[in-house]
A and B are shown apart, each in its own frame.
Chain A
Amino acid sequence: MKKLILRQKYLIDFTLSSLKRRLAKNLGLLLVYTLIVFLLASVMLFTHSLRREAGIILESSPEIILQRLVAGRHDLMPAEYLDRIGRIRGVTRKAGRLWGYFYDPAVQANYTLMVPRDRDLGQQEVVIGAGIARTRGVDVGDFLTFRSSDGRAFSFRVVDILEADAELVNADLLLVSEGTYRDFFGIPADRFTDIVLQVRNPSEVRKVAEKLTVLLPDARPILREEILRTYDSIFSWRQGIVFVLLGGSILAFVIFAWDKASGLSAEEKREIGILKAIGWETSDVIRMKFWEGSIVSLTAFLLGFILAYLHVFYGQAALFEPVLKGWAVIYPSFNPTPFVDGLQVATLFFFTVFPYTVATIIPIWQASITDPDAVMR
């Protein structure tokens, strides 16, 4: 056993020195390898953390949202529907919500206006998301003026700015009082945007939704678990698409690795010939080459992964910013909580280390079967 470990140690020692001796050649490979890992890991960490953030946000949202449909289009919800729902077993809370969108021509951006449930605001008070504060350049105590649906000017005093923690969702949020909201958009007092229901037991959600569709034929229930599931599949699907697109570069990398591994220099061939002549066995050479591959792979993998980690979690995924910026004028600054799991690492391993290893098997073998007496010819 000890012999086995010592033998590997000698082989690793030799491999390290031989990598060092051919630094230029190996550096090129390492660079390309690291780049591939970096790209894939960035995509992976980024979409994964987006999905996680979305999940965290939805965690606190109600189990069921009920919307009214008129001629297949979303319409305002009459307040009396709340009474018509009555008492459904399993529903712990039900409430009407008021929210909507508002286009601000001054900065050409869309805001989301909402009436908060847990916050009492005065007639002229407003709470804004960090994104709005940034684009409009306002702070607590400043005033914002908007034109309402019937052309009147409404002036609001900013009393608070929402925390930047979950900026992905609240960057463009404006919170106003119920009275102001109805006045601003001209919505009658007996109408809501939609109704939300809280269901304590997750296994009852479907049953409740079924009852609602019977009770209110013109309403459509939207389940939180369904939203979550859609998010999940959309995010993994997107990730998949990106990986397919990157498939070309992985293939290029594989060919590059194959070429590097099979195109041994005369110097290297001679070296392997010497090793075989002085008593190294074919499997010793294979093992030595295996360690070489492992060292290169491990270095590239760690380096690429750490760079991607820094890029996504501390560099705000700067490379993906242009893609994301297409979303809206109010671009949320993105600070996801660092998060890594075994699935991602294992998947990444199969997209990078595995192809590299497969590409080098045959070249390694070909190098290792050099005739031991080749150096004598």
Chain B
Amino acid sequence: MLLNPAIMALIGVSAVVALLLLLAAGFAIQVMRHWDIGSGSELQLNLERRTYLISTILSYAFVAELVSLLLFVYNAEAMSTQFVGAMCATGVLNVDPWGWPTLFLKIAVFFAGGVWLILNRLDNQGYDYPLVRVKYALLLAIVPLVIAEAVVQAAYFLGLNPDVITSCCGSLFTPESEGVAAEVSSLPPRTAVTALYASAGLALLSGLATLWRRGAALLFAGSGLLAFMVALVAIVSYVALYVYEHPHHHCPFCILKSGHDFVGYYLYIPLFAATVLALGVGALAPWRRIPSLVTAAAVDIRRFTWLSLMGFVLFYAVATYAVVTSNLTMQGVWW
């Protein structure tokens, strides 16, 4: 166990967010049980007012989770000096088996929270709140995810032991070793680049199709998620190499450093934003025919699809730019 302020902050934030969500879930259950939009009773009025509290809690929790995702990566980066063999965040995440699951859970919570807020936004535009039960059921599904994140993260930090010799990106992302990370990076660059641009094409086309016909929204959400995963793999196995100008440096975190012009932020911010919006569009689509939501759903789906498409385009532009302007020549030399 390492007692350091950033770790204390992360554990504290996750615990508080989990508590807030439990509180919100308690209210959500009451709302689901007693909700009767037609009633003018004081109970119904109170429940309606509770919904404001739940929305507020969720928006704050979402922002807190976002900042804590950043802090988690920063902290892993900063702790790399404290572990033998760790040279950057990758090594620190490898120190015990809970490191990577924590990161993935944090990303999952981010996406779930974003989708919930988008759904909530739509529902608030329907005068009869038609999605009230749907969105609170979804909220109840998010709560275990947040609790799991808090627990796994605590397990990770409690298990941190500075005596452990860890393996860092140099050895982790080499084709010779085993495991997911190795598989990801041992992906031949040609395959990675093909997959990257193929998923890009799919995401962008299905996005345009959604602008044309709302029915394509689910396809867009699916291909957005696919594009997100492919993009992460491609960053590790392909884009990063060009950023570092080194054919064997596969790290997904070092690109966030100043030495590489913070190019990681220009990649990750549009990518994450675009993906959460695409997922949100997918969550809106099934409800677009509810009478009280028809107009609002059409406007929201259109707006979020546009924003998401802009995010994806920006991401692919930055990734392509990073590769094109790099001094590393791999084509013909390495593959």
What is A's interface to B at a CB cutoff of 8 Å?
A: 44, 225, 228-229, 232-233, 236-237, 239-241, 243-244, 282-283, 286, 341-343, 346-347, 349-351, 354, 357-358, 361-362, 364-365, 368-369
A246 vs chain B, min Cβ distance (A): 10
Residues of chain B lying within 8 A (CB to CB) of residue A364: 56
Closest to B74 in A: A343
- A237-B4, A361-B53 provided; 16 other pairs, C-beta below 8 A? A229-B84, A232-B82, A233-B82, A236-B4, A240-B4, A241-B3, A244-B3, A282-B49, A341-B78, A346-B74, A350-B13, A351-B9, A354-B16, A357-B60, A365-B56, A369-B49
> B148 in the interface, Cβ–Cβ < 8 Å?
no
- Tell me the B1-50 residues at the A interface (CB within 8 Å): 2-10, 12-13, 16, 20, 49
User: B52 contacts A368, CB within 8 Å?
Assistant: yes
- Tell me the B178-214 residues at the A interface (CB within 8 Å): none
Chain A interface: which of B62-70, B233-241, B273-281, B319-327? B62-70
Q: How far is the CA of A217 from the CA of B13 in the complex (A)?
A: 49
User: A365 contacts B53, CB within 8 Å?
Assistant: yes
Q: Which of B8, B13, B78 contacts A243 (CB 8 A)?
A: B8
Q: How far is the CA of A236 from the CA of B7 in the complex (A)?
A: 10
Closest to A287 in B: B56
Q: How far is the CA of A42 from the CA of B84 in the complex (A)?
A: 30
User: A358 contacts B6, CB within 8 Å?
Assistant: no
Count how many pairs of residues, one from A and one from B, have CB atoms less than 8 Å apart in the complex.
92
Residues of chain A lying within 8 A (CB to CB) of residue B74: 341-343, 346
User: B56 contacts A286, CB within 8 Å?
Assistant: yes
Residues of chain B lying within 8 A (CB to CB) of residue A240: 2-5, 7-8
Q: How far is the CA of A336 from the CA of B81 in the complex (A)?
A: 21
A24 vs chain B, min Cβ distance (A): 28
Q: How far is the CA of A114 from the CA of B4 in the complex (A)?
A: 36
Residues of chain A lying within 8 A (CB to CB) of residue B81: 228-229, 232
Evaluate whether A343 and B53 lie within 8 angstroms (CB atoms) in the complex, with A240-B8, A243-B8 already known: no
Q: Could you list 8 examples of A-B contacts with CB < 8 Å?
A: A229-B84, A233-B2, A346-B71, A347-B75, A350-B68, A354-B9, A358-B20, A365-B56
User: A361 contacts B4, CB within 8 Å?
Assistant: no
Closest to A282 in B: B52
Residues of chain B lying within 8 A (CB to CB) of residue A349: 67
B84 vs chain A, min Cβ distance (A): 7
- Nearest first, the 3 A-B pairs at minimum CB distance are A240-B3, A236-B4, A350-B9
Q: How far is the CA of A244 from the CA of B3 in the complex (A)?
A: 9
For A239, A286, A347, A349, which residue has the most chain B Cβ atoms within 10 angstroms? Answer: A347
Q: How far is the CA of A346 from the CA of B70 in the complex (A)?
A: 8
Closest to B23 in A: A362
Evaluate whether A347 and B84 lie within 8 angstroms (CB atoms) in the complex, with A233-B2, A237-B3, A342-B74 already known: no
